[in-house]
Amino acid sequence: MTVRPIRLYGDPVLRTPADPVADFDAALREIVRDLKDTVREPGRAGVAGPQIGVSLRVFSYNVAGQVGHLVNPVLSDHEGEQQDDEGCLSLPGLGYATKRAMSVTARGFDQHGEPVVIHGTGFLARALQHETDHLDGRLYIDTLTGDVRRQALRELRRVVPR
């Protein structure tokens, strides 16, 4: 079991779009295993490759006891809207109301290259969107606007050492 350390805000890997996975090999299976071990830690709903220092388009999720992963995800069928507090392991201690689609469809592959389709609603939809954002070099604070964004950035400067 390998629980990898989480990269924190300020690490350039978090702001760099991840590379598509090209090889569904033993190295990828090891990354997926590490992601799943890492996401199983208490209080974790998702971990993306960049959060463990791996710039590949792969993430794991742990929602309602369902642990899974997705390689090269593409989101579609965004429907409805939800707004709830959202946090991030790479921005510890912060949480802000964040708008997300209420439901999404995520298409990608498993660690062996087999096609996978996940239909997520509610919290699972939020997790799928959050982790896919990580693969695009985006953090949830990037979606905030107005006073909430200003407050989040002030708090971020206060709690995250630079």
pLDDT of residue 114: 98
User: Percentage of the chain with pLDDT > 70?
Assistant: 98
Ligand-binding annotation for 112, yes or no, is: no
Would 52 be classed as within a structural domain?
Answer: yes
Residue 6 domain flag:
no
Chain segment 79-124, per-residue pLDDT in tens: 999 999 999 999 998 999 999 999 999 999 999 999 999 999 999 9
Inside any domain, residue 72: yes
Q: Cα separation of 33 and 40, whole Å?
A: 11
Residue 64 near residue 123, CB atoms below 8 Å:
yes
**Does the annotation mark 131 as catalytic?**
yes
| Low pLDDT (below 70) residues in the chain | 160-162
pLDDT for residue 16: 97
> 141: which 2 tokens?
């604070």
**Structural domain count, the chain:** 1
Q: Is residue 152 in some structural domain? A: yes
- 30, 86, 131, 155: the catalytic one is 131
Is 78 marked as a binding-site residue?
Answer: no
| 119 annotated among ligand-binding-site residues | no
Q: In this structure, is residue 2 part of a structural domain?
A: no
Question: Residue 143 sits in a domain of what CATH number?
Answer: 3.90.45.10
76 in Cβ contact with 105 (< 8 Å): yes
DSSP states of 144-157: --HHHHHHHHHHHH
Any domain includes 27: yes
Q: Are strands 95-100 and 46-48 parallel, antiparallel or unpaired?
A: unpaired
Task: List the domain range (segments joined by +) for residue 79.
Answer: 12-159
Would 46 be classed as within a structural domain?
Answer: yes
Is residue 5 in a domain? Answer: no
